[in-house]
Chains A and B, each alone.
Chain A
Amino acid sequence: MVQYNFKKITVVPPGKDFIDIILSRTQRQTPTVVHKGYAISRLRQFYMRKVKYTQQNFHEKLSTIIEEFPRLDDIHPFYGDLLHVLYNKDHYKLALGQVNTARNLISKIAKDYVKLLKYGDSLYRCKSLKVAALGRMCTVIKRIGPSLAYLEQIRQHMARLPSIDPNTRTVLICGYPNVGKSSFINKITRADVDVQPYAFTTKSLFVGHTDYKYLRYQVIDTPGILDRPFEDRNIIEMCSITALAHLRAAVLFFLDVSGSCGYSIAQQAALFHSIKSLFMNKPLIIVCNKTDLQPLEGISEEDMKLVMEMKAEAMKTVLGQGGEPTNDEGVLLTMSTLTEDGVIAVKNAACERLLNQRVEIKMKSKKINDCLNRFHVALPKPRDQKERPPCIPQAVMEARAKEAAEKEKRKTEKDIENENGGAGVYSASLKKHYILSNEEWKEDIMPEILDGHNVADFIDPDILLRLEELEREEGLRQAVEEDDDFEMDGKELTSEEQEALAEIRKKKSLLIQQHRIKKSTAESRPIVPRKFDKNKEFTTKRMGRQLSVLGLDPSLAINRARSRSLSRKGRKRERSPAYDGGDAMDVDVDTPKKKLRARSRSLSLSRSRSRPPSEVTPGEGFKDSAQKVKAIKLGKKSVKMRNKDARNGRGSNNDVLQSSRQLPKFARSYGGSSSIRFFIRRFMVAASKEAGNAFWSDKFTFTSFSLPGYMLFWQF
């Protein structure tokens, strides 16, 4: 949808201003400092930029002019013709064409001079070329000065054209000058058109808006038309003709029956017949105005005949739209704008006929299918004569009726107040809506302070409930304990057997614990070093004892373990003695070849000795050996695996609850805090697996643990 708004066209500056704008822009927005000593390429670039920039600005400005002015061939024919009538199409096109030519010329000039600037060999030459280029561009603009002035005038006039939408619902008023067209538009719209008692008061199109059936109608007042050949008509009349020719509107042909406009009915009828080709396919209404001066019935026979002829002509438009030939209402209407007699009737008739016509056209058009496709009205056909009313159960009906009755009946506090003496006398009782277990308590007086204590502090509404819960819990726990006892003691075991069982169980639990510890220290994890082994559990003594219990000779193993710590260092460098017989195997033997080893080492040392790591070799980039040592140390440190020394870190997830104080009391009572922690963790993991992660909300409390049976279940 094209918006016909000519108000947005930018101002066209007159030729001289145009040049000033562009040149000052070049001056402001390109560099201004240049020196003879600069490299020639820089000088050339400096001036080329100026030439290019000026050209770009000219191009931009001229392009806006060319683009913003409407092309008469592209816009709606109404506007095309109107602009042609007002401004002369040829002149308009010529002016725009000149602007276009100027744009091309300037581009060409810039191109030529940039090319010449490439051969510039001095500041002076480059500068003269730039001056010449800019000068020639300005000359071009100076030449099109008159065109620019013309376009500016047109722009100003176009901005003041009424904004007529050629496609909307339109009512067009036409007729001889001074027949009351402007008075009518003033009556039905808020367009403040000048009304004067002489001909051609209205010299251009005026637009106003009116409402009918919640739709907006555009009413156009046109200048008067005289009955003369088409070529003789002046610009003012041509505006009307253009509007009549191109707007699909309801046409109101105004007829001054009194003849006070200075033209007889015969003249007006002649005009009607000469322009009736313009009314084709449009709802046409003949409006007899100024009935206050001369009622329609009072005119002479001949005039009446003329009017009837016109009416017949207008009826054809009705027939053309598929109306009935007998329906002649809304074709010839009388009114008086002075007394406002029949004005609204005319407006309504025009709007109604226009609306009908538009709807009809739309119904006939192809587009209607797109709309109709979306409609679907389902009307089930009755399959038999049986009546099938909607079924509402009796109970529902009754309930509804009751509800309605109740709504009406319900007594409000206000009613009660009014019954008991009105405001100020009656005070509403707040106690009567209390919900208590005993109705009689409602009116009881309750003290706020009792024995120096605030009673409210000691109120616990569900104390009984909690008591009950606790008791139930206790009962359950007792039952479990009894159960356990029964299980353990139920079997008849001898004391030896019992001992053995206890031993087995102890061992079992120990194994489990050890296994778990082992599991937690997986391969890559740092091992707890000896110094943190506070209990000194893993000693050679213990190992010997255990081995002897198993019936093995521990001495070899102990020796090996002891030697191991020492031998590690030596082993790295150990070489097989070359000349000492083939005893290369280093095995656990009772007599270590200490001497031999020492000798072999010394020999090997003397034979080949690699550089000490701290020695500085050229190319490594170290200042001295101290620096190198330091660097090596740092390097080693950085690649070392961190030993956390059995401390807890942020990443360790081995416990959830840090201290036993965070646990509920009952949980603390069972076993040590650490074991309980473990169990709780196990439990939570299992529970979360069952219930999904929603279980892990902040609301999670230990109420679930109040059943010790669960705990035990999870323990084994």
Chain B
Amino acid sequence: MVSLLSVMLGLPQGDYIELHRKRHGYRHDHFERKRKKEAREVHKRSAIAQKVPPSSPVVHSFGPPGSYVFLLGFDDDYELCIHFRCTLNRCVQALGIKGKMFAKKRYAEKALMKKTLAMHEESTSRRKVDDDVQDGAVPAYLLDRENTTRAKVLSNTIKQKRKEKAGKWDVPLPKVRPVAEDEMFKVMRSGKRRTKQWKRMVTKATFVGPSFTRKPPKYERFIRPSGLRFNKAHVTHPELKATFNLEIIGVKKNPNGPMYTSLGVMTKGTIIEVNVSELGLVTPAGKVVWGKYAQVTNNPENDGCVNAVLLV
């Protein structure tokens, strides 16, 4: 493989093959062999696809990347496509993780290839031009009519308020699976004989405020293990389509009950308040918003992180 650098800087001293070619030219059957090798490539690949050996060394190298370019460069190369489709149809799925990986890779390649082919096809085929209708365009027979407009103009703030009211409980995850108490808590035994069972340990992710201090263990009914405490969440802004790692301010509501809300348990569907000062959002009045609600969209205890969608 000739790297970009060596192209730029000429032949390094160790590149004796290139030097030889430069001096004496290619081997007499070089191009013939190359052509044959390329032609053989598809067969080889299908053989691999049908039986990837458990530890095949060539799983990730299916010929030079240039071969795809070659394929895609020709619009009328349907035969190969058909060939691929056929092999796919009668293909025996290779076994194991390597087989799966291979199949997935091929699938992606083929999808890309089809898309590209379709694109090329589009450029050649003729069809009617279908221009978009401009906003406010009126057919000719209605041209003489006058349009009526609403007289009353709602102020921007009122509009905003209405919107907020209407969408108050309109959250991305309207329904969540209820979490039973025995799933939420683990019973801890205490006492010298381990017979007392009034202590509970929260098994879900929790948010614990920075100023929280534990009660003395004798009186502590609910234990929120420090390993499961989170104070940051990955919050996605649905309109910006961007995700930010924001600090959690508090748990607003846990759908499973007020007790969980007060404990700061974060399960799927919980509304949390996050610090959005980094985002630089501004209220209509021009103040910087710093706290906003977001809904947790994953099971934090299973994923090891809190993902949430900003409620806007």
Give A residues with C-beta under 8 Å from B.
16-17, 20, 24, 27, 86-87, 112-113, 115-116, 118-119, 121, 124-125, 128-129, 132-133, 153-154, 156-157, 159-162, 191-192, 194, 202-207, 235-236
Contact = CB atoms under 8 A, between A and B. Distances in A.
Given A125-B302, A128-B302, A153 B11 contact: no
B22 A194 contact: yes
A422 to B, nearest CB: 62
Contact of A204 (B9, B301, B303): B9
B13 interface: yes
Contact of B5 (A87, A118, A162, A236): A87
Interface of B: 1, 3-6, 8-15, 19, 22-23, 59-60, 97-98, 101, 186, 203, 225, 227-228, 299, 301-305
A129 B11 contact: no
A113 B305 CA distance: 10
Q: What 10 A-B pairs have minimum CB-CB distances, sorted nearest first?
A: A203-B10, A160-B12, A128-B302, A160-B14, A157-B5, A162-B13, A153-B3, A132-B303, A132-B304, A116-B304
Nearest to B98: A24
Given A112-B304, A192-B19, A194-B22, A160 B13 contact: yes
Nearest to A24: B97
Scoring A128, A154, A160 by chain B CB atoms within 10 A of each residue's CB, the highest score goes to A160
A358 to B, nearest CB: 25
Contact of A116 (B8, B15, B228): B228
Given A116-B228, A156-B6, A160-B6, 10 more contacts: A86-B5, A87-B5, A119-B225, A124-B302, A129-B303, A129-B304, A132-B303, A157-B5, A204-B9, A236-B9
Contacts of B23: 194
Given A112-B304, A204-B13, A194 B227 contact: no
* Contact residues of A: prevailing secondary structure: helix
A113 B300 CA distance: 12
Contacts of B303: 128-129, 132
A133 B304 contact: yes
Contacts of B8: 235
19 contacts: A86-B5, A112-B304, A119-B225, A128-B302, A128-B303, A132-B303, A132-B304, A153-B5, A156-B1, A157-B5, A161-B13, A162-B14, A194-B11, A194-B19, A194-B23, A203-B11, A204-B10, A204-B13, A206-B13
Nearest to A85: B9
Given A119-B203, A236-B9, A125 B1 contact: no
Contacts of B5: 86-87, 153-154, 156-157
A203 B15 CA distance: 13
Contacts of A118: 227
Given A119-B227, A125-B302, A133-B304, A161 B12 contact: yes
A116 B227 contact: yes
B301 A235 contact: no
A408 B241 CA distance: 109
A17 B8 CA distance: 27
Contacts of B6: 156-157, 160
A592 to B, nearest CB: 82
B11 A113 contact: no
Given A113-B304, A133-B304, A204 B60 contact: no
Nearest to A133: B304
B305 A125 contact: no
B3 A191 contact: no
A204 B19 CA distance: 14
Contacts of B13: 160-162, 191, 204-207
Contacts of B15: 160
Contact of A235 (B9, B227, B304): B9
Contacts of B98: 24
Contacts of A125: 301-302
A129 B9 contact: no
Nearest to A221: B13
A291 B236 CA distance: 77
Nearest to A196: B22
A201 to B, nearest CB: 8
Contacts of B299: 128
A33 to B, nearest CB: 16
B9 A86 contact: yes
B96 to A, nearest CB: 10
Contacts of B304: 112-113, 116, 129, 132-133
Interface centre among B14, B97, B303 (most CB of A within 10 A): B303
B14 A159 contact: yes
A236 B13 CA distance: 14
A20 B203 contact: no
Given A159-B14, A192-B19, A203-B10, A119 B228 contact: yes
B245 to A, nearest CB: 13
Contact of B101 (A20, A128, A162, A204): A20
Nearest to B14: A160
B19 A156 contact: no
Nearest to B15: A160
A204 B8 CA distance: 10
A190 B202 CA distance: 77
A161 B6 CA distance: 10
B59 to A, nearest CB: 8
A132 B12 CA distance: 45
A161 B12 CA distance: 7
Given A20-B60, A204-B9, A206-B13, A129 B1 contact: no
A568 B236 CA distance: 111
B305 A132 contact: yes
Contacts of B225: 119
Contacts of A20: 59-60, 101
Contacts of B305: 132
A132 B9 CA distance: 44
Contacts of B11: 194, 203-204
Contacts of A27: 97
Contacts of A204: 9-13
A172 to B, nearest CB: 16
A396 to B, nearest CB: 65
A52 to B, nearest CB: 15
A160 B8 CA distance: 14
B237 to A, nearest CB: 20
Contacts of B12: 157, 160-162, 204
